[in-house]
Amino acid sequence: MNLAVKTYTTGEIAKICGVNFRTVIRWIEKGYIEAYKLPGRGDNRVTEDSLVKFLKNNNMPIPSEIETVNKRVLVVDDDEKMARAISRTLKKAGFDTDIAHNGFIAGSKLEVFKPAVMTLDLKMPGISGLEVIHYVQNSEQLVNLKILVVSAQDQKELDEAVQKGASDALSKPFKNSELVARVSQLIGVN
């Protein structure tokens, strides 16, 4: 259990943003940066999430120390062999992977594992790939998640998936190098 949350003071943020800490306080007062106050004198504290959100909103450079490059990929496929094959290939390429064999586990792990990319088999029993895409599209938590459809279905279905919101599609069978290339591109763009 990790309860600790990294927080930043106005002084630290001032250095990160290259401005005076007085200015940071004003940004907080105006609501540009989300912060909470300590009981004593009312010192401001900003969580890492809030800071990153602020920096992104304003296209400000994010220091590498606090930018957690997310190289996690969740492999969703009910075919265990296929899932392991994909996972192995991606692991070799330096990605951090996890596997979900059904929709329930996929949904759960999306929130816990927090992958940057999900490879999705369109045709899984009891669950429609398009439904999953639609759900992700409309979920606030998952706006940054990229979906790479991996399916044996014909090109028309793949195109539809991309049109409905998947980031990319790959038809089975595929070359491992092609898989790695697609995932790399999706994560690189991020």
Residues found near its own copies in the complex (CB under 8 A): 1, 3-7, 12, 15-19, 23, 26-27, 30, 32, 36-40, 45, 47, 54, 57-61, 63, 65-66, 102-112, 124-127, 131-132, 135, 139, 141-142
Q: At what angle do helices 103-113 and 129-137 cross, to 10 degrees?
A: 30
Q: Which does 81 bind (CB under 5 to 8 A by kind): its own copies, DNA, none?
A: none
Stretch that binds DNA, among 13-21, 47-55, 73-81, 111-119 (CB under 7 A): 13-21
C-beta separation of 24 from 9 below 8 A: no
Stretch that binds DNA, among 25-33, 62-70, 77-85, 153-161 (CB under 7 A): 25-33
Which is nearest to 114 in space by CA: 71, 165, 150?
71
Residue 38 beta carbon to DNA: minimum distance, rounded to whole angstroms: 4
Report which DSSP code applies to 47: E
Where residue 18 falls (left for φ over 0; alpha for ψ -120 to 50; beta otherwise) is left
